[in-house]
């Protein structure tokens, strides 16, 4: 079983280098396998190159999918980062 959630990128600069780095750091703190999907392209959410290659700019919606022992907490924290923390950082 896995947990999945769609998130809209709302900050002005999207997931560029610094936010992508923080996102990957947070994802790396979980044991679950975490995937980010944008326009049918799936990348490992624990890979900075993968996240940057998505080109997730403002207004785009990404799907986060986690599978593992801490899947629910992983999705909850990553969605919170993208929806709440990231817009405050700008």
Q: Give the gyration radius of the chain's Cα atoms.
A: 12
Contact present, 21 and 48 (Cβ < 8 Å):
yes
Contact present, 58 and 11 (Cβ < 8 Å):
yes
Catalytic residue among 10, 14, 16, 22: 16
Contact present, 4 and 63 (Cβ < 8 Å):
yes
Which residue has better confidence, 89 or 2? Answer: 2
Tokens of 57: 């700019």
Mean pLDDT computed over 45-55:
97
Domain regions of the chain by residue span: 2-84
51 catalytic residue (yes or no) = no
The CATH architecture annotation of domain 2-84 reads: 2-Layer Sandwich (3.30)
Is residue 88 very low, low, confident or very high in pLDDT (cuts 50, 70, 90)?
A: confident
Q: What is the pTM of this model?
A: 0.93
Give the pLDDT confidence score for residue 77 in this predicted structure.
97
């Amino acid at each position: 079983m896995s947990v999945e959630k769609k998130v809209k990128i709302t900050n002005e600069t999207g997931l560029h280098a610094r936010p992508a780095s923080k996102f990957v750091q947070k994802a790396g703190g979980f044991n679950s396998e975490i995937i980010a999907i944008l326009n049918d392209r799936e990348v490992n959410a624990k890979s900075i190159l993968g996240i940057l290659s998505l080109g997730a700019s403002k207004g785009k919606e990404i799907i986060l999918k986690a599978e593992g022992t801490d899947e629910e907490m992983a999705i909850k924290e990553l969605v919170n980062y993208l929806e709440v923390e990231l817009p405050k950082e700008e």
